[in-house]
Amino acid sequence: MSGTPMDKAAAARIQAAAAKNNQPTGTDSFPARAQAAADRNANAVMSKLFRIAIDGPGASGKSTTAKQLAKKLGFGYIDSGAMFRAITLKCQQNNIDPSDIANKDKVTEIANNAEIRFPTLDQVELDGQNVSELIRTSNISRNISLVASNWAVRDILANQQRKMAKGEIPGTISTGFERHGKLVKGVVMDGRDIGTVILPDAELKIFIEADVRIRAQRRFDELKKREGDALTETVDDVERDLEARDLADYTRKIAPLLKAKDAITLNTSHLSIEEQVDAIEKMVLERV
């Protein structure tokens, strides 16, 4: 795609200067080269990704919003929580208890060797297997905080998350959208430390919140839909689990859940999914 044409006055000025200096004005002329440089510059601006960092506590609506937003804008999507969930699952599959300090190196090895991919907006793959459903059980949620507070695991995943955001590790593709005649490509990443640690210079940072009872009810409904009569937990159980995980996330020493200074708070307690997606889409359009 070519960039914005130089304005006529600038081209005329260059043409006049070239004539004065007796320079050629054909395809290898200064104006032609200046136009090519302007095009390259415009393309460089367009190839810079618009990065949206979404953080917040569990079941506040981050991933639902991030996915729909990514779909609407044609952006890539990286679910950083799913990566911690996948490592927790892999520990369980290998009978490694992450709470046992003696297993520290084994947990690091698991994280180092785990290949986590997002082939579509809704799919999570671990070592080539679709684990999208397996990672969302309450059992994984209850055991994840030990993995999330392991600095070696965080370091390994942080590295992968930054590479994914740059497109250096294959992820969901950004096709982008047209705005003012330019193609805007981007990526949405959600988690706990995206705006503070992973992408501190993201173009837009959102901190999503919702009342804990509302979050518990939403997560309960989701689990009920997935597990049906097999679900043994009540809304109160889900609320207790969420509170315990929030506490672990807010108080851990490394990369705690924190609202970045320049993040915009969005409370979704009384919003519909469509309203929260539209609100962030509006913020994106205001900035590009």
Ligand X SMILES: Nc1ncnc2c1ncn2[C@@H]1O[C@H](COP(=O)(O)OP(=O)(O)O)[C@@H](O)[C@H]1O
Ligand Y SMILES: Nc1ccn([C@H]2C[C@H](O)[C@@H](COP(=O)(O)OP(=O)(O)O)O2)c(=O)n1
Residues making contact with ligand Y (CB under 6 A): 58-59, 63, 80-82, 84-85, 144, 148, 191-194, 245, 249
Asked if residues 204 and 52 have their Cβ atoms less than 8 Å apart, the reply is yes
Closest contact distance (angstroms) between CB of 94 and ligand X is 26
Q: Rounded distance, CA 108 to CA 147, Å?
A: 10
Instruction: Tell which residue, 263, 79, 83, has the closest CA to residue 156.
Output: 83
Q: Rounded distance, CA 153 to CA 158, Å?
A: 8
Q: Across the chain, how many H-helices and E-strands are there?
A: 10, 10
Asked if residues 160 and 169 have their Cβ atoms less than 8 Å apart, the reply is yes
Asked if residues 64 and 210 have their Cβ atoms less than 8 Å apart, the reply is no
By a kind-dependent CB cut-off of 5 to 8 A, residue 193 interacts, out of ligand X, ligand Y, none, with: ligand Y
User: Residues 85, 185, 219, 252: which binds ligand X (CB under 6 A)?
Assistant: 219
Based on CB atoms, which residue is closest to ligand Y, 14 or 140?
140
Q: Which of residues 64-93 bind ligand X (CB under 6 A)?
A: 64
Closest contact distance (angstroms) between CB of 219 and ligand X is 6
Based on CB atoms, which residue is closest to ligand X, 85 or 252?
85
Based on CB atoms, which residue is closest to ligand Y, 35 or 64?
64
Closest contact distance (angstroms) between CB of 281 and ligand Y is 21
**Count of C-beta atoms within a 10 Å radius of residue 266:** 22
Instruction: Tell which residue, 185, 160, 167, has the closest CA to residue 75.
Output: 185
**Is residue 205 part of the contact set for ligand X (CB under 6 A)?**
no
Residues 6 or more apart whose Cβ sits within 8 Å of residue 240: none
Closest contact distance (angstroms) between CB of 191 and ligand Y is 2
User: Residues 97, 109, 209, 222: which binds ligand X (CB under 6 A)?
Assistant: 222
Interhelix angle 212-227/235-251, rounded to 10 degrees, is 120
User: Residues 35, 63, 103, 174: which binds ligand X (CB under 6 A)?
Assistant: 63
* Structural tokens at position 165: 């955001």
**Is residue 271 part of the contact set for ligand X (CB under 6 A)?**
yes
* Structural tokens at position 36: 């090519």
Based on CB atoms, which residue is closest to ligand X, 11 or 271?
271
Tokens 């969302």 belong to 136
Q: Rounded distance, CA 204 to CA 95, Å?
A: 40
**Is residue 125 part of the contact set for ligand X (CB under 6 A)?**
no
Based on CB atoms, which residue is closest to ligand Y, 30 or 151?
151
**Is residue 245 part of the contact set for ligand X (CB under 6 A)?**
no
Based on CB atoms, which residue is closest to ligand X, 38 or 271?
271
By a kind-dependent CB cut-off of 5 to 8 A, residue 174 interacts, out of ligand X, ligand Y, none, with: none
**Is residue 58 part of the contact set for ligand X (CB under 6 A)?**
yes
User: Residues 132, 268, 277, 280: which binds ligand X (CB under 6 A)?
Assistant: 268
**Is residue 35 part of the contact set for ligand X (CB under 6 A)?**
no
3-state helix vs strand vs coil in the chain, percent to 5: 55, 15, 35
**Is residue 59 part of the contact set for ligand X (CB under 6 A)?**
yes
> Rule CB under 6 A: which residues touch ligand X?
56, 58-64, 218-219, 222, 268, 271-273, 276
